[in-house]
Amino acid sequence: MKTLIKIAWRNVWRNKIRSLTVISSIVLGLWSGFFTMSLTIGLNEQRMDSAVKSYLSHVQIHHPNFLENYNIKDVISKPDNIYSSIEKNNLVKASSRRTIIAGMGSTAHGSLGLQVIGIDPEHEKEITSISNSIVKGTYFSKVKSKPVVIGEVLAEKLKLDVKKKLYITFVDENGDQQKIKLKVEGIYKTASSIFDQTNVFMRRSDLASEIGNSGLIHEVSILCHSIEHANQLKQEISAEYPNEKTETWDEIAPELGYADEMMSTFIYIFMGIILIALSFGVINTMLMAVLERKRELGMLMSVGMNKTKVFLMILFETVFISCIATPIGITLSYLIITYFGEHGIDLSVVGKGLENFGIGARVYTFLPADLYLNISVLTLLIAFISSLLPARRALKLNPAEAVRAL
C-alpha cells in the first residue's frame, strides 16, 4: 500500500500544469463559495441585529389584541407587577415600558402616518440603540418641554430640523381627536429607512399627560443576556401571566426568523452546487490522465498489478489533489472573511436600497466555525465520488490492447 501511495503521489505531479489547474479551480471554487456564504450570512445577521436593537428586542409583552390594530385601549393589565417580576428574572438584561399610539404627524410641508412611542429615556438606552444613533441634536437632555426624537428620513420628508415643531394628531380613549405640539430635540438614523420614517420617540410621562392617563402601558420590551434565552423567558412569562401575549423576536417579525432558519439549508445547497460543478472538472481531468496513461496502465496490469490496486491508485490521485486544494481554499477563505469581518465592505453605492431592508451601508462578513469543517468533509466526499468514474474507466482497460495503444 505504501508503494501504491508513492506512485499515486508522483503521478499527480507528472503533469504539473494540469494538476495545478485543477487545484486552483478547487481553491477558487471554495473561496468564492465561502465568501458568498459569509456575505449572505453577514447581511442576514446585520438585518436581524439592527431590528433587535432598534425596535424588536428579544421578547415583548402586549395585550392579546394590541398588535392587530394598535387600539389605544388595548393595554397591559397590572403592568407594574409584570415589570417588577421581569426585573428580578436572571435571564433579563434590561427592560422598558412603552406607551404607543398611532397618529398623524404634520408640519407646514406635509403630513405622514406615524407611530408615537412613549418611553422612559434612561431605560430605553439599555434596550435600543436609538440614543447612540443620534446624528443631529441630543437625546432627551436639553429640551424640557415635550421633546421628540425623530428619524432622519422623516425629517427630510417633513422638512424638520432640531428645535422645529412637529404636530401629532391622534384619537384618545374616548374617541376624541387630540393634537400634541412637540419640539424636535434630536434626529436619529438607523439601518432601516422604513423604521426611521414611521417611528418617533417622546417621554412616556409627556404622552401620558396628553392622553390623560399615566397607567397606559401597551408594551414591555425585554432584552435578554443572550438571544438563545428568548424562548425560555417567554415560557416563564407566559406561565406566570397567561392573560397577556408574550412573543419572541422571531414571532413578532416572522420573516426574520424564517430567513434565519433557512440560511443553513441555503448554504449547503449553494456549496453543493459549486462542488458538483467542480467535480465535473476533476472527473474530466482524471479521465484524461487515465486515457493518456492507457499503455502504462496496461503494462502495470500485465506484470501483475490487480484491478483493486489500479482502482486505489486512481482514487488516491484524485483525493491527493483535493487534500492539497481544500486546506488552501479554506485558509484563504478564513483570512479574507476574517479581514472583512473586522473592517467591513463598503456598499454605500447601493446604501439606499439596503436601508429599505434594514441593512447598513457597511456589511461585515461572518461564517460559523462548524461550516468550515462540514464543507471540508463535503469537499473530500465529492472528490472521492468524482474519482469513481475515472477509476472504473481504468478497470475496463484490456491489458493486451492497452500495451499496444499509442
DSSP string for residues in 155-203: HHHTT--TT-EEEEEEE-TTS-EEEEEEEEEEEE--S-HHHHHHEEEEE
Answer for the pair 247, 234: CB distance below 8 angstroms, yes or no: yes
Angstrom CA distances, 103 to 179, 206, 260, 314, stand at 9, 15, 33, 73
Coil, helix or strand at residue 365: coil
Q: How far apart are CA 36 and CA 49, in angstroms?
A: 20
Q: How far apart are CA 396 and CA 291, in angstroms?
A: 11
Q: What is the pLDDT of residue 353?
A: 65
In this structure, the number of other CB atoms found within 10 A of the CB of residue 147 comes to 23
The sign of the torsion formed by the CA atoms of 372, 315, 13, 285 equals negative
DSSP strand pairing (110-119 vs 199-203):
parallel
**Quick one: which of 377, 373, 397, 374 has its CA closest to 313?**
397
200 φ, ψ (degrees, to nearest 5): -125, 150
**Quick one: which of 344, 335, 338 has its CA closest to 364?**
344
- Sequence-ordered list of residues with C-beta below 8 angstroms from that of 350, at least 6 positions apart, any chain: none
The pTM for the full model equals 0.73
Q: Between helices 2-12 and 307-343, what is the axis angle to 10°?
A: 60
Q: Percentage of the chain surpassing pLDDT 90?
A: 27
Q: What is the pLDDT of residue 358?
A: 61
Q: How far apart are CA 98 and CA 92, in angstroms?
A: 17
Answer for the pair 266, 40: CB distance below 8 angstroms, yes or no: yes
Q: Between helices 307-343 and 254-292, what is the axis angle to 10°?
A: 140
The sign of the torsion formed by the CA atoms of 57, 212, 145, 155 equals positive
List the chain domain ranges. Answer: 2-52+257-402, 64-243
Q: How far apart are CA 338 and CA 359, in angstroms?
A: 20
Q: What is the pLDDT of residue 118?
A: 92
Q: What is the pLDDT of residue 134?
A: 92
Answer for the pair 225, 84: CB distance below 8 angstroms, yes or no: no
- Sequence-ordered list of residues with C-beta below 8 angstroms from that of 213, at least 6 positions apart, any chain: 173
**Quick one: which of 197, 223, 291 has its CA closest to 57?**
223
Answer for the pair 71, 237: CB distance below 8 angstroms, yes or no: no
Answer for the pair 129, 190: CB distance below 8 angstroms, yes or no: yes
Which uninterrupted H or E stretch holds 17? helix 16-51
Q: What is the pLDDT of residue 303?
A: 67
Q: How far apart are CA 341 and CA 131, in angstroms?
A: 25
Q: What is the pLDDT of residue 158?
A: 93
Q: Which residue has the cell 475496463?
A: 396
Point out the residues of the chain with pLDDT beneath 50.
406
Answer for the pair 149, 186: CB distance below 8 angstroms, yes or no: yes
Longest dimension (CA), the chain: 102
